Amino acid sequence: MVGTQIRFGDGASYELLMGEWSRNAGADFLDWLKPPPGLAWLDVGCGSGAFSGLVVERCAPLSLLGIDPSEGQLNFARGRGLGPEATFKTGDAMQIDLPDNSVDVAIAALVLHFMPEPLRGVSEMARIVRPGGFVAAYTWDIEGGGFPYEAMHRAMLAMDFETPSPPHPEAGNADEMHRLWTDAGLENIRQRQISVSRTFRDFDHYWQVGVLSPRLAAVLGDLAPDQLALLKDTTRSLVPEPVVLRASANAISGRVRG
């Protein structure tokens, strides 16, 4: 199933699955980035608008445009009521519908590994950012075991179930991210790791949320009841008690040459 396309079409389900993770990681990311107020932002692959909301709350943007291929996600983002400075529209990270040098900062939050061609996506972000502006991202370190629902995926591997992967899981690797930013011509590159945690009420709460993942749904729908029960028990054995799960992402920022 490697290479199977993973789509997030339901903003409400994505919010339950990733909203808290995204906000926790995004807050850490913004504390590190330290952008000045009054900037024009582009949120590439904005999804349900979890990170966009953080930008509006914490960074006093002049404007924020969120783009995403999913209208369902965009509708959820619009429903957040983030104010007149925030707008959301359908967009393609491979061909951003903005002129050159038109925003101050372009961010890809938890989306770099979903881009069909990460270098092209980063280069597009660099194209539309003004000289001296920021191009930045943070991405789950999937290959390093940093995905929030890693326990479920480890259970599937233990049972020889193959799960679909994003097009470029390696894009969450710190060295690979540095290569992408360098090849896109960005300067003053900085990097750091972000570690976050999330507390679930109990294992059943973790399971109910985790099965909303399209990566898991692609497998679960084909399992017999006894297989599903065994997978759940195997996952339970890998989840700590109390149920506090940790995840890690790699972050990067660079400047467009002035």
Per-domain boundaries in the chain: 11-147+166-200+246-255
pLDDT at 100: 98
- pLDDT profile of the chain (258 residues), mean per 10: 47 81 94 97 94 96 97 92 96 97 97 96 98 97 94 91 86 97 98 96 95 81 90 95 96 95
pLDDT at 3: 38
Distance of alpha carbon 139 from alpha carbon 141, whole angstroms: 6
pLDDT at 7: 54
pLDDT at 220: 84
Distance of alpha carbon 74 from alpha carbon 91, whole angstroms: 10
Contacts of the segment 207-213: beta carbons below 8 A, 24+ positions apart? 207/232, 207/235, 209/16, 209/17, 210/17, 210/149, 210/152, 210/235, 212/13, 212/14, 212/16, 212/17, 213/17, 213/149, 213/152
Assigned CATH class of 11-147+166-200+246-255: alpha beta
